[in-house]
Amino acid sequence: MPQLDTSTWSITILSMIITLFLVFQLKVSKYYFPEDPKPALVATPKPATPWEKKWTKIYFPLLLPL
Amino acid sequence: MNENLFSSFITPVMMGLPIVIVIVMFPSIMFPSPNRLINNRLISIQQWLVQLTSKQMLAIHNQKGQTWALMLMSLILFIGSTNLLGLLPHSFTPTTQLSLNLGMAIPLWAGTVITGFRYKTKASLAHFLPQGTPLPLIPMLIIIETISLFIQPMALAVRLTANITAGHLLIHLIGGATLALMNISAATAMVTFMILILLTILEFAVALIQAYVFTLLVSLYLHDNT
């Protein structure tokens, strides 16, 4: 059986080690799997009530003429 | 006839140069490295397949075991691509060589066992004695468990070698039979040809399955030891 001829074993094992542990791992290490970025939940601002749209002097308590 | 049958398993040497190096490295050409942000279809398909396989295979491992992801993925790619390329006519399949399979199995298995000894010494030694064995059986059981531990790399290597070699031999034999029968009786040759086709389909499956089994077992040994 030619597989049991040990004269060629060293070169076969050496080439396998180079291929498996160097070449293939260098290629697979360059694979990147992009994450799926999900948009962050943006808090919708509360719609301004009519009396808050206009800033008037009376909202400063310390400025009230009392 | 004997010499002719096994001649495809001789390590190829062309004019004194061992071209087996080139043959072993050849499947890596089928997997181009991704260099761009958006790659071409071939690389994208391969990346997707690797992602699918790695998710499936690494799901059972913990943090420590998942550091082996690169090793396991390149292992399954190497064995799978080598086996599939070996199905081309007149090609040399490196995985039929016992040397290559032993060279893969022993370091990987030893790596898993040594990892287990380093990080979980008591637990990995405890594997030698299953829970709840009656006291008089203990010495015999430890011997049996030790033997079954040391036979793991041998079984890995010989399983892969034997399966791929047997498949290739069958294809050679049945192909030769079909050729010889063509002059004698065309109908029998047709039957043999159908058998050849079925066998080739089987060999495609075996090529992939053997890669999977090898990698799965390594991953299982890893799981026991991390």
Report yes or no: B103 at the A interface, CB cutoff 8 Å: yes
CA separation for the pair A33, A17 (Å, rounded):
27
Q: Which of B38, B78, B106 is the best substitution to test chain A (most A C-beta atoms within 10 A)?
A: B78
CA distance A37 to chain B (A): 16
Q: Which residue has the tokens 């997707």?
A: B48
Check residue B61 and give its pLDDT. Answer: 83
What rounded mean pLDDT belongs to chain B?
85
What is the H or E stretch that residue B18 is in?
strand B17-18
Check residue A59 and give its pLDDT. Answer: 59
Residues A7-57 pLDDT 10s: 888 888 888 888 888 999 999 999 988 777 787 777 777 776 766 666 665
Report yes or no: B96 at the A interface, CB cutoff 8 Å: yes
The tokens of B184 are what? 């004698």
Three-state secondary structure call for residue B122: helix
pLDDT values of chain B reduced to their tens digit, one per residue, 226 residues: 556 788 888 888 777 777 888 899 999 999 999 988 888 999 999 999 999 998 888 888 887 788 888 988 999 999 999 999 988 888 889 899 999 999 989 999 898 888 888 888 887 777 777 777 788 888 888 888 889 889 989 998 998 999 899 988 988 888 888 888 888 888 888 888 888 888 888 888 888 887 777 777 777 777 776 6
Report yes or no: B57 at the A interface, CB cutoff 8 Å: no
Reported ipTM: the value is: 0.80
Asked if A3's CB is within 8 angstroms of B99's CB, the reply is yes
CA distance B74 to chain A (A): 6
Check residue A63 and give its pLDDT. Answer: 64
Q: At CB < 8 Å, which residues of chain A contact B?
A: 1-6, 8-9, 11-20, 23-33
**Cα dihedral B92/B94/B95/B100 (nearest 10):** 160
Three-state secondary structure call for residue B14: strand
Domain ranges of chain B: 7-225
Asked if B103's CB is within 8 angstroms of A16's CB, the reply is yes
Report yes or no: B25 at the A interface, CB cutoff 8 Å: yes
pTM for the structure as a whole: 0.82
Asked if B103's CB is within 8 angstroms of A17's CB, the reply is yes
What rounded mean pLDDT belongs to chain A?
78
Q: Closest by alpha carbon to B97, among B84, B83, B80, B77? A: B83
